[in-house]
Amino acid sequence: MNTSNFLIANAEKCTIKDQQFIIAGPCSFSSYEELYEIALELKKLGVEYLRAGCFKPRTSPYSFQGLADEGIEYLIKIKQLTGLKIVTELMDWEQVQKYKDDIDVIQIGSRNMYNYDLLSKLGTVSNTILLKRGFSATIEEWLSAAEYIAKNGNQNIILCERGIRGFDTETRNVLDLQAVAVVKKLCALPVIVDPSHASGRADIIEPMSLAAMISGADGLEIEAHTNPKISPSDANQTITIDELNSLLTKLKSYNFI
């Protein structure tokens, strides 16, 4: 792929270049107390960005769909109380207009990566956009999606590799670390890795996180919970706060963060 005519190749107006993003928190949550407890623990570990899904694009319409607007209100309250920056997925323009002033980083999920109308509109807001790779998107499709945002005026985009569909059922997806190395050559935007959705399993988050950083990632988005068993979604891939603590210690010992 040739990105020489793309704004994201140099991303001159991107103000988050060379920053690191360690983002952690539950996939979703079912009460204020649950999220507040997690947030306090993350704060103790020095994590700067709290992720928590409120509008959940679940495969089954019968699975828990997130606390929606009520959840966003809790997230905003916890941001005010803790000073943590908040990252959450928004699925349409109406939600973006409603919450853009309170949310620090707007996550666009894998399923919405091809929503060109939404991407174009995200070019008009000043929030940082975390653009996840579609689970069957080529690198070219992923970077083109980012260019839709950039072309419309917003170059503060974090690209997130979250695994692509493979054939093996031992893991949820295949973590494409080659994409991280390649994308770092093709554009100037920060690139992070989500080992949680890539692997679907809590027991390999640590090695995949280390591998991501050595591949050139500018950070990680990790699902973590004080009690993963009660997480209303993605419990199997969610690590404990203790596991996150030991991962962060290891990342520091390798000078990755």
Binding site for ligand PEP (CB under 6 A): 27, 53, 109-111, 132, 162, 197
The footprint of Mn ion on residues 15-74 (CB under 5 A) is 27
| Alpha carbons 56 and 65: distance in angstroms, whole number | 5
| Alpha carbons 243 and 257: distance in angstroms, whole number | 16
**Candidate ranges 60-68, 156-164, 213-221, 234-242; the one touching Mn ion (CB under 5 A):** 234-242
What lies within 8 Å, CB to CB, of 214 at 6+ separation is: 256
**Candidate ranges 58-66, 206-214, 228-236, 239-247; the one touching Mn ion (CB under 5 A):** 228-236
Does residue number 7 form part of the binding site for Mn ion (CB under 5 A)?
Answer: no
What pairing do the DSSP bridges indicate for beta strands 49-51 and 239-240? Answer: unpaired
**What residue 121 binds from ligand PEP, Mn ion, none (CB within 5 to 8 A, per partner kind)?**
none
The runs of H, that is alpha helices, within the chain are 32-44, 68-82, 93-99, 116-122, 139-151, 177-186, 195-199, 205-214, 241-253
- Angle (CA) 175-142-209 rounded to 5° is 25
**What residue 172 binds from ligand PEP, Mn ion, none (CB within 5 to 8 A, per partner kind)?**
none
Q: What is the DSSP letter of 148?
A: H
**What residue 190 binds from Mn ion, ligand PEP, none (CB within 5 to 8 A, per partner kind)?**
none
Minimum distance from CB of 233 to ligand PEP (Å)? 7
Total residue count of the chain as it appears in this document: 257
Q: Please work out the total of residues on this chain that contact Mn ion, with binding judged by CB under 5 A.
A: 2
- Give the residue, chosen from 234, 239, 244, 256, that forms a contact with Mn ion under the rule CB under 5 A: 234
Minimum distance from CB of 152 to ligand PEP (Å)? 22
Interacting residue ranges for Mn ion, rule: CB under 5 A: 27, 234
